[in-house]
Chains A and B, each alone.
Chain A
């Protein structure tokens, strides 16, 4: 148990479907992140949330829509995805110490997404 739980672990969806990925952390952290990990590509930071506010969006296409209702939960809503969006989507959390450097992330196990 890493303290960060992602569901579902695996997801297969068609290009016209709408689905959501869920991330939950019970570590008391106040920052949460979505990363995309594709084969043969480095980890790509998608979104950063700090105290429920989105503080970073790395030019992610609008077919990915994040939601952070509170500091413990993070969602990634998916619609009209493309096959190239197939990847492992990782959620992470950390304790933002207000201007001090990150002491490290705790990652979830990821959702393996396949778009058909």
Chain B
């Protein structure tokens, strides 16, 4: 069964510093992988996705992620954190459900705090 593990439920960085949010996946088939961001009292917004094309994926707001099959990882990075990046981030992998329906399996989330 497909699953994702996000290392670190809380990450704190200074404004202007590198952001690194870790995600490792488990999948018996080539995975599709996603990063979503959630601001307080909002739904989840797609940041970027990997669907077996380029291994380095660029998303919105300056974020990018690299698919590394050998490490089963899909870490999210941003070179320079901005105060507006403070939010919760979710990694997800595509899977098939009970009735053959497609679904996303989400990690537990990482809350990013950006300090001035």
Chain A residues at the B interface, C-beta cutoff of 8 Å: 2, 4, 6, 31, 33, 42-43, 45, 48, 50, 55-57, 88, 90, 92, 94, 96-97, 99-110, 112
Of B99, B107, B109, the residue contacting A56 (CB under 8 A) is B99
Contact B99 A103, beta carbon cutoff 8 Å = no
Contact B108 A42, beta carbon cutoff 8 Å = yes
Chain B 38-52, CB within 8 Å of chain A: the 1/0 string?
A: 000111111001010
Q: Given A6-B43, A48-B97, A109-B42, 10 more contacts at CB 8 Å?
A: A42-B108, A48-B103, A55-B98, A55-B99, A92-B44, A96-B101, A102-B94, A103-B32, A107-B44, A109-B41
Contact A107 B51, beta carbon cutoff 8 Å = no
Using A42-B109, A90-B43, A110-B43 as known contacts, say yes or no to A105 and B104 having CB atoms under 8 A apart. yes
Chain B residues at the A interface, C-beta cutoff of 8 Å: 32, 34, 36, 41-46, 49, 51, 90, 94, 97-104, 106-109
Q: How far is the CB of A68 from chain B (nearest CB, A)?
A: 13
Using A45-B103, A94-B102, A101-B102 as known contacts, say yes or no to A55 and B97 having CB atoms under 8 A apart. yes
- Chain A residue numbers with a CB within 8 Å of B99 are 48, 50, 55-56
- Chain B residue numbers with a CB within 8 Å of A48 are 97, 99, 101, 103
Alpha-carbon separation in the docked complex, A90 to B41 (Å): 11
Q: Which residue of A lies closest to B51 (CB)?
A: A103
10 smallest beta-carbon distances between A and B, as pairs: A107-B43, A55-B99, A55-B101, A101-B94, A102-B102, A42-B108, A56-B97, A107-B44, A43-B106, A102-B94
Contact B103 A56, beta carbon cutoff 8 Å = yes
- Chain A residue numbers with a CB within 8 Å of B94 are 101-102
Alpha-carbon separation in the docked complex, A92 to B101 (Å): 14
Alpha-carbon separation in the docked complex, A57 to B99 (Å): 10
Q: How far is the CB of A62 from chain B (nearest CB, A)?
A: 18
Contact B101 A50, beta carbon cutoff 8 Å = yes
Q: How far is the CB of A24 from chain B (nearest CB, A)?
A: 14
